[in-house]
Structure 1
Amino acid sequence: MEDDRALLKVPSARKAVRAQPAASEKRYFNSRVMVKGNWTREEDALLVQLVQDARSAGHAETDPDASGPRVTHWAEIAKNLPGRVGKQCRERWHNNLRPDLKKGEWSLAEEVMIFSCWRVWGPQWAKISRALEGRSDNRVKNHWNCHMKRRLEKDNEYVAVVTKTVEALDLVSALRDIMNVENSEKAFKDLISPQIVDYLRTNHHNELDSRTSSYVPRSTYVSRANGTNPAIPEENLHG
């Protein structure tokens, strides 16, 4: 048994290969050489400076779907980064470099926000990320697929808290009410998110921890025979 557990900790050959830094690949985009590979510190620093310069020069506008300004001339910025294109620069900025980006632990309140938005909007991760404070769409999607989805299928106590909060605040109806409102993500952030935080603080202050992973002991995980939890409609567990 101990040997079996030890084997589980040994990374597979495929994972070992993936862990190695990938060498930059060169491809062509609109007759330009495009580098497909890891960003260097020098590139990151230059991209940050170029974004700041663009904003200082007035080459940015307010994003109606997110807080703060949004650079709109990524293609122009990319011209100063040999081998990079506008799409790469935009994704690198929004997913890794923007100053308001949150990279820490996920709170229970954030997970309730993601779940309630997902119930109404489906897996529109970019839209859901704009309803949260400082989370990128990649991080929201990865957190759902790698953590939340599994926990909703197996952790009954966690499911009970999440669904009770959604039902107590009637979040599904509230989200549907703002679906046709201009900038519904900002409306969610300004009007609904504070209610979720206040409700959890008031009703689950003993259990609520700043780290979601410590909210429910791992010993309470229960695997259902069919792999799903009856509290969550099976047809809703899509990615």
Structure 2
Amino acid sequence: RDWEPIAMEHLMGKSAKECHERWIRYLKPGVRKGQWGQWTDQEDYIVIDAVTNSSEQPFTRWSDLAQRLPGRVAKQIRDRWVNYLNPNINHLPFGRKDDLLLWEGHKKLGKRWVEISTKSFNSTRPENQIKNRWYSALFKK
């Protein structure tokens, strides 16, 4: 498909590449999204098995794994691993110590959530969790 005319005619300010990526990730028929896109135990098992048994560390073959999970795209699978399935993730609520680490990390690094995750939390809190905590009304009180 030639995405250039579509971008120019329908999506001012978006590149052909951005249009193509949006189609692949969200609009293409068969891609699961919303509540109907809930993850099954079998899908979780496939992701966990592929990532933990891969000789490649860190795992980066998300597109290959997407071929084994009909209706899923690489970004969805990576996000599922990074934010939920990774056994190193701390799923407990943020405590005072965590909030202090976040505060100090933000003071040094600004809104570079990935760096705060690795440098302040030793990658035990995913960047999305850190960003959401920073912007939560509870944290700002």
TM-score, normalisation: structure 1: 0.43
Larger Rg: 1
1:145 partnered with 2:140:
no
In the TM superposition, residue 80 of structure 1 has moved relative to its aligned partner by 0.5
- Preserved contact between residue 51 and residue 77 of structure 1 (Cα < 8 Å): no
Give 5+ residue unaligned stretches, structure 1.
1-26, 62-69, 152-239
Which deviations, in whole Å up to 9, do the C-alpha atoms of 1:49-83 show, x marking residues without a partner? Answer: 12223x2xx2x13xxxxxxxx21111111110101
Task: Name the residue aligned to 2:5.
Answer: none
In the TM superposition, residue 142 of structure 1 has moved relative to its aligned partner by 1.5
Task: Name the residue aligned to 2:90.
Answer: 102
In the TM superposition, residue 93 of structure 1 has moved relative to its aligned partner by 0.0
Q: CA RMSD in A?
A: 2.1
Task: Name the residue aligned to 2:45.
Answer: 45
Richer in strand (by share): 1
1:111 partnered with 2:106:
no
Over the matched positions of the two proteins, sequence identity in percent amounts to 30
Give 5+ residue unaligned stretches, structure 2.
1-21
Corresponding pairs, count: 112
What is the aligned counterpart of 2:126 among 125, 130, 136? 136
In the TM superposition, residue 32 of structure 1 has moved relative to its aligned partner by 7.1
The one-letter amino acid paired with 1:29 is I
In 2, Cα distance between equivalents of 1:128 and 1:28: 31
TM-score, normalisation: structure 2: 0.70
The one-letter amino acid paired with 2:43 is E
Q: Point out 4+ residue stretches in structure 1 off by more than 6 angstroms.
A: none
In 1, Cα distance between equivalents of 2:125 and 2:81: 12
What SS is found at the alignment partner of 2:30? strand
1:33 partnered with 2:30:
yes
What SS is found at the alignment partner of 1:33? coil
